[in-house]
Chains A and B, each alone.
Chain A
Amino acid sequence: MASLGELERSVMTLLWDSTQALSANEVCEQLDEDLAVTTVLTVLARLEKKGMVHRERTSRPHRYSATASREEHTVEMLNEVLGTAPDREAVLAQFIGSVSEDEAAALRKILG
Chain B
Amino acid sequence: MEPLALFLAGLAVVLAVPVPMLLHEARFRARSPWAAMLLWQAIALAGGLSMVGAPMVYGLAPFGDALPEAINTAIRLTLSEDYPALGELEVHPWHIFALCLGLLLAGHLVLTVVRTYLRVLSARRRHRQLVSLLSTPLPASDGGSEATQVIEHETPLAYCLPGRTNARSVTVLSRGLLETLTEEELAAVVAHEKTHLRQRHHLLTMAFEAWYRALPWLPTTRHGREAVLEITEMLADDGALATHSREDLLRALAVSGEGSPDKDLKPTAEASLITGVRLQRLLVPKAPLGTSAIAGVVFCAAALLAVPTSLLLLI
Interface residue ranges, A against B (CB under 8 Å)? 5, 8-9, 12, 50, 52, 70, 73-78, 80-82, 89-111
Contact = CB atoms under 8 A, between A and B. Distances in A.
Given A96-B158, A97-B256, A70 B134 contact: yes
Given A103-B274, A103-B276, A106-B269, A95 B157 contact: yes
Nearest to A104: B257
Contacts of A104: 253-259
Given A94-B202, A98-B233, A101-B257, A76 B283 contact: no
Contact of B134 (A77, A80, A89, A103): A77
A109 B232 contact: no
B271 A78 contact: no
A73 B130 contact: yes
Given A52-B129, A105-B273, A106-B274, 11 more contacts: A74-B153, A81-B157, A94-B202, A96-B189, A96-B193, A98-B229, A99-B253, A103-B273, A106-B270, A107-B279, A108-B258
A109 B268 contact: yes
B268 A105 contact: yes
Nearest to B131: A77
A95 B175 CA distance: 16
Q: Which of A77, A94, A103 has the most CB of B within 10 A?
A: A94
Contact of A50 (B129, B268, B272): B129
Nearest to B276: A103
B124 A92 contact: yes
A78 B157 contact: yes
Q: Which of B129, B134, B230, B265 has the most CB of A within 10 A?
A: B134
Q: Which 7 A-B pairs have the closest CB atoms?
A: A104-B257, A99-B257, A107-B254, A97-B256, A94-B196, A106-B273, A95-B159
A101 B254 CA distance: 9
Contacts, number: 166
A102 B279 CA distance: 12
B179 interface: no
Contacts of A97: 156-158, 253, 256-259
Interface of A is mostly: helix
B29 interface: no
Contact of A9 (B133, B155, B156, B189): B133
Interface of B: 119-120, 123-124, 126-127, 129-134, 151-153, 155-162, 172, 174, 189, 192-193, 196, 201-202, 205-206, 209, 225, 229-230, 232-233, 236, 247, 250-259, 265-266, 268-276, 278-279, 283
A107 B130 contact: no
A110 to B, nearest CB: 6
Contacts of A102: 266, 269, 273
Contacts of B266: 101-102, 105
A78 B257 contact: no
A76 B153 CA distance: 12
B229 A90 contact: yes
A70 B130 CA distance: 10
B193 A94 contact: yes
Contacts of A52: 129, 133
A13 B254 CA distance: 34
Nearest to A11: B133
Contacts of A94: 159-160, 162, 193, 196, 201-202, 205, 232-233, 236
B127 A99 contact: no
23 contacts: A8-B133, A52-B133, A73-B133, A78-B157, A81-B157, A82-B155, A91-B205, A92-B127, A93-B161, A93-B162, A93-B172, A94-B233, A96-B158, A96-B189, A96-B252, A98-B229, A98-B230, A103-B274, A103-B275, A103-B276, A105-B266, A108-B255, A109-B271
